[in-house]
Amino acid sequence: MKFFLDSADINEITEINKTGMIDGITTNPSLIAKTGQNFIDVISEITNIVNGPISAEVIATSSKEMIQEGQKLAKISPNIAVKLPLTRDGLIACKTLSKEKIMTNITLCFSAAQAILVAKAGATFVSPFVGRLDDIGHDGLNLISEICTIYSNYDQFTTEVLVASARSPIHIIESAKMGADVVTIPPGTFRQLFKHPLTENGLQAFLDDWASTGQSIL
């Protein structure tokens, strides 16, 4: 499973990327707005930090303008994945950009039916939103299971399942069990993956016992 970091914070991306476990970045207009910086400048800087796919979202709502914006964003770097909304126009734009060998990420997917359309449009990634479905009383992880099952039935479907709106390690673990290709994680959730009380307690016990010997390795 690939880990994408869901952030537009340059300092945070730089720091977490040092772990060597980040395979890409997802951004959206809300994350970019929080930086208070120029959209193109932020995306360009991120591409210089992380080598994997960097999702940069279009703002247009018509397919013609989405294509134009996508083509402009793709010129920033070869690792740009143009992020498009799961609308009729978004899928039309996806089809065109995919034919031009531009990576695409179709976002705001909330049903298996939508995911089938995304695969037929040739998208690189589909982003089903787990947390937002949970928020309205639906089982977000069930959607991941449905999409993974459907995609596995058809060799011609090459779209990768990118689990979005993952809000806890449980979302990540369960998605991995289902065979999801990618999960995009907020920085706080990524840090939670490292933590377990038994690990921390065990390490402290080892350190205390070592300190009692009075020895040093260095």
Active-site annotation, residues: 83
Cβ contact 149:115 at 8 Å: no
What stretches of 14-102 adopt beta strand conformation (E)?
24-26, 54-57, 80-85
Rounded CA separation 136/133 (Å) = 6
Residues in the chain: 218
Taking the C-alpha atoms of residue 41 and residue 53, their distance in angstroms, rounded to an integer, is 17
For residue 83, what are the β-bridge partners?
57, 105
Question: Burial, 86: exposed, middle or buried (Cβ in 10 Å; 0-12, 13-18, 19+)?
Answer: buried
Q: Is 151 exposed, middle or buried (0-12, 13-18, 19+ CB in 10 A)?
A: buried
**How far apart (Å, rounded) are the C-alpha atoms in residues 77 and 44?**
8
Q: Vertex 168, ends 165 and 174: CA angle to 5°? A: 90
